[in-house]
Structure 1
Amino acid sequence: MKTKWKIDPSHSEVQFKVKHLMITTISGHFHSYDLEVLTEGDDFTTASKIEFAANVDSISTKNEQRDAHLKSADFFNAEQHVAISFSGKRFEPNADEYLLHGDLTIKGVTRPILLHVDFGGIVADPYNQIKAGFTVTGKISRKEFGLTWDAITEAGQVVVSDEIRINCDIQLIKS
């Protein structure tokens, strides 16, 4: 029997981290996103659909000037590419975690990626809704997705690293 799961945005976070000047880490997140998963019962390894999309215009790094730059053509080009999307292909057990294989699309460029998933379990909340929890982590090269803007300081320091770390805490609601 097919089971549909939808994201609970009030109990989920979609974040990323990037090195700035190679000495500090800047965090960002998306305020607006959606995720839908179809499984056989409660077994996520049977997922036939894992579709995620984040609204690029909802990006926030707690700095309006930086956020505007990220939405510009130098980075995400939010006017032409309104969403970042991920389509999961396979969710498989691997020792004490799971591996999620799928295709990530940023700025019109699609590449396969591998994400590491810690499955927190399934519980009923106080309102008798069935919830499933996950922590999803991974790394990507921003330049592989056409996010090639670069700057070097006068001292020769890279301003923004190529490596982007993904960190999401996801709570799904069984429909």
Structure 2
Amino acid sequence: MSPAPATAAIPGYLAGTWKADPAHCRISFSLRFLTLGTERGRFTDCDATIVTREEPQRSALTATIDVASIDTGNEKRDTHLRSADYLDAENHPTMSYRSTGIHPSGDGWTVDGDLTLHGVTRQVPLAVEVNGFGPGASGAQQAAFFATADIDRRDFGITARTDGGGVLVGYKVSISLVIQAVLQK
């Protein structure tokens, strides 16, 4: 008996080109701060396209994020994070992600891909859950995804420290993405 096709495990799965709906997307991050607590933030401006194929493993994802759209709820901190000490938004205004492969993993999927941040490109896998496919409130076909990844900011040349040499902001950055996308005609 041959295994069921991967699409059978994704109710309502549709092949097509999907654009992220900015009103229903959240790209957030968290990291240690002063080794005392966790700081959280998000990026408010992103553009993502997901192309689902009949065979999900052949699907693709591209995304671009405006790093100046960082929002931690503290404008002074946001300004510092946009500076050359961290994201250097003036010289590196966007970060981007481009998938290079997709495969089933446990109860979900792993999207392998290249993240370009701060002018440096590194491979970063995303652990992805497909939340579903179906008609949204407007009647348009929508797809919803949740993804997570961890990166080390030093891998991207972001190495800022305090004047005393201690770490002000942790090196490990946990990223989560909640993406709702609309099927394009």
More strand by share: 1
For residues 2 and 97 of structure 1, the distance between their equivalents in structure 2, rounded to whole angstroms, comes to: 18
1:46 aligns with 2:83: no
Deviation at 1:9, TM superposition (A): 1.2
Matching residue of 1:21: 34
Matching residue of 1:68: 79
Select the residue among 72, 83, 87 that pairs with 2:98: 87
Give the TM-score, by structure 2 length: 0.87
Matching residue of 1:173: 182
The residue matched to 1:161 in structure 2 has which SS?
coil
Identity level (%) = 33
For residues 154 and 166 of structure 2, the distance between their equivalents in structure 1, rounded to whole angstroms, comes to: 18
For residues 183 and 104 of structure 2, the distance between their equivalents in structure 1, rounded to whole angstroms, comes to: 21
Matching residue of 1:144: 155
1:31 aligns with 2:44: yes
Over aligned residues, Cα RMSD in angstroms? Answer: 1.8
Matching residue of 1:160: 169
The residue matched to 1:69 in structure 2 has which SS?
helix
Deviation at 1:152, TM superposition (A): 6.5
Deviations 1:100-138 (A, max 9, x none): 100000111000011111111111113221111111101
For residues 115 and 46 of structure 2, the distance between their equivalents in structure 1, rounded to whole angstroms, comes to: 14
Deviation at 1:92, TM superposition (A): 1.3
Deviation at 1:157, TM superposition (A): 5.7
Tell me which amino acid in the other structure corresponds to 2:108: E
Q: Is the 8 A contact 1:30 1:59 kept in 2?
A: yes
Deviation at 1:94, TM superposition (A): 0.9
For residues 31 and 120 of structure 2, the distance between their equivalents in structure 1, rounded to whole angstroms, comes to: 20
Deviation at 1:89, TM superposition (A): 1.1
Select the residue among 131, 135, 148 that pairs with 1:124: 135
Unaligned runs of 5+ in 2: 1-13
Q: Is the 8 A contact 1:152 1:159 kept in 2?
A: no
Give the TM-score, by structure 1 length: 0.91
Give aligned pairs, total.
171
